[in-house]
């Protein structure tokens, strides 16, 4: 009886940790996606100074949260987002709107893919 209670307690603790980690991952990715969308809007409005400031803010957030995200996701995706973030800052600095928008799109899609891979569904469990 004692081993059953301990096993059930460990199981419930694992379920709690999984739910907490998925919610935390969702909040981080949503925050980063919103920041990326703000950069995209600034680029579309040709507000290059605001876009550059927003991209610096995104990089600060990215450096803060990327170690935590690396626990949940593939390191290649993390490296892709990191590289695109640096490219984005350079494209904004040189006011290249097409490449800047392309980089924001890649960042948003990579963040969405991280979220998609961590959702609880049959496809991800198999």
Domains located in the chain, CATH noted: 25-125 (1.20.120.290)
Q: Can you say how many angstroms the Cα of residue 106 is from the centroid of all Cα atoms in its chain?
A: 11
- Can you read off the two tokens belonging to residue 89? 């800052």
pLDDT reported for residue 36: 94
Count of beta carbons in the 10 Å neighbourhood of residue 119: 11
| pTM, two decimal places | 0.85
DSSP notation for 85-98: HHHHHHHHHTT-HH
pLDDT, tens digit, 9 for 90 and up, residues 47-83: 999 999 999 999 999 999 988 888 878 888 889 999 9
d(CA 22, CA 121): 12
Question: Is 88:110 a contact under the CB 8 Å cutoff?
Answer: no
d(CA 73, CA 99): 26
What average pLDDT is seen over the chain? 89
- Least Cα distance to 73 among 22, 39, 32 occurs for 22
């Amino acid at each position: 009886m004692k081993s059953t209670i301990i096993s059930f307690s460990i199981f419930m603790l694992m379920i709690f940790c999984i739910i907490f980690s998925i919610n935390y991952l969702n909040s981080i990715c949503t925050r980063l996606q919103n920041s990326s969308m703000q950069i995209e809007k600034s680029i579309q409005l040709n507000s290059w100074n605001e876009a550059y400031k927003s991209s610096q803010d995104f990089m600060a957030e990215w450096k803060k949260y990327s170690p935590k995200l690396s626990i949940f996701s593939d390191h290649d995706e993390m490296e892709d987002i990191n590289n695109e973030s640096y490219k984005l800052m350079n494209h904004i600095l040189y006011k290249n709107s097409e490449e800047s928008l392309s980089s924001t799109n890649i960042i948003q899609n990579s963040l969405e893919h991280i979220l998609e891979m961590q959702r609880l569904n049959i496809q991800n469990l198999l």
